[in-house]
Structure formats: structure tokens, C-alpha cells
Amino acid sequence: MCRHLAYLGAPRTLHDLVYASPASLLTQSYAPREQRQGTVNADGFGVGWYVPGRTGPLRYRRAMPIWADASFADAAQALTTTCLVAAVRDATPGFGTDESCAQPFRADSRLFSHNGAAADHEELAARLGHPLPRGVLDARTPVDSAPLFAAAVRLWRAGEELGAALARVAREARACSAGRYNLLAADGRRLAATAAGDTLYVRHGCGGVWLASEPLDDDPAWRRVPDRTLVTADRDGYRLTGISAVD
């Protein structure tokens, strides 16, 4: 189990987005309020963000708990972005805790995160993991999120829209293995996420839109996303669609 979040909007520092809120991702790493599986997320963390003038996102990942990396917390005060994806990790039993397993994953201009776990990883890998997308090392990572990422990258490269690809992957994953498939993606201009077995919230206002496993504060603007729902968002707002209704 993990906690993840995404942001799109007016420029903000990484520190503001990841550390500053009362129930920030940092706080969720050791005291999540709505996590159903596990109690802490200490098996690594990652932050991916977009910088004007760059084609693809930058990324920082570590195998340690986010609270143990004081240097990144300092650097995050000087780094600004208009789009971010970040995650803290509670490793699925049977999988390692090395840095390569920390999300978000990255391919081309997109970032990807999976909050959840597959009951039958071997079947998931057999059905969704191949063929491996060329040049995407994260799709080879020894973790149950990798086949989901590989499938999403293939769809994106074939022209599938950001959110439609996530909805299709979540449907196909559930068809071959029970599990929780909350998927999250960004391309610098849009966000998309699925609520498929775990909590997901969306908030629009104050110059941006946020997607998060749980609210970052007690602002009533946070809206709980129903299960089996796709959220797509841009700077103008967000839209909810049933996963089964997405072609």
C-alpha cells in the first residue's frame, strides 16, 4: 500500500506541495488517516515534477522513508513547479525495497504511480507486462506496479488519451487478478487517476487541482471520488467518469 498525490496549477514549491500541509504526504508516510492496508509508508518515496523548457519531467527517488531525507526537504524549498506527482511507499509483501521500486515511474513525458497491490502478480505480469515498451526501464522493475505501467505506456504510445489508458489498464488488471488499482498519471498539462479499490480525493481551487489518496487538510473543498471512477483534470477543473464507461 502507498499514498500518492498529484498537482496541476499555479507555480508552487515542492516543499509546499509535499511537506507543508497539515496532512501532507510527509505526514501520511507515518500517520495516514485513511489507509486501509498497513500503517506506515517507510519503504521509499519519489517526487516527479515538470520544469518549463524541458520535454520530460525531473524525478527524485530514494529507498529510505521521506522523513529521513532532510536534504531533499531543504532543496524542495527552492524548487518550483506547475505539475507534480509524488508517492510514499509501503512495499507489497514479497517485493523489494530498493530505489527502483519507488514511484512515480517515468516514460517519455509522463509520470505514473500505483497505489494498491495485485493478488496474483504472475498472472498480471503475463497478461499486461509484455511486450515491454522500448527504452522504459521502470517497466522492468521487480514490483507488481510494473506490468500496469508497461500496459499504460503501450497505450499512450499508441495514441490513447492519458486517462482513458488508465481506465483500460484498471479494467484489464481486475479482469485477471483481484487487487487494488488506484492509478495516477500526469503529462505536465493534465492529470488522471482511477479510484479502483482504495481511497482517492480531488480538490479544485486556490489556483490548482489536486488528486490525493487522502485530503492534505480539512478543507471542505476535498471531494471523495467514488470507487470504479476515473478522474481527469486540467487547469480549468476536473471530470468524473465511471471506469466501465470509458472506451
Q: Residues with catalytic annotation?
A: 2
Cell numbers 509535499 label which residue?
Answer: 18
Tens of each residue's pLDDT in the chain, 247 residues:
689 999 999 999 999 999 999 999 999 999 998 887 778 888 999 999 999 888 899 999 999 999 999 999 999 999 999 999 999 998 877 677 789 999 999 999 999 999 999 999 899 999 999 999 999 999 999 999 999 999 999 999 999 999 999 999 999 999 999 999 999 999 999 999 999 999 999 999 989 999 999 999 999 999 999 999 999 999 999 999 999 888 7
Positive or negative, the Cα torsion across 25, 31, 36, 39?
positive
Residue pair 224/199 in contact by the 8 Å Cβ criterion: yes
Residue among 7, 9, 10 at smallest CA distance from 21: 7
Entry pTM: 0.96
State how far the Cα of 84 lies from the Cα of 82, in Å rounded to an integer.
Answer: 7
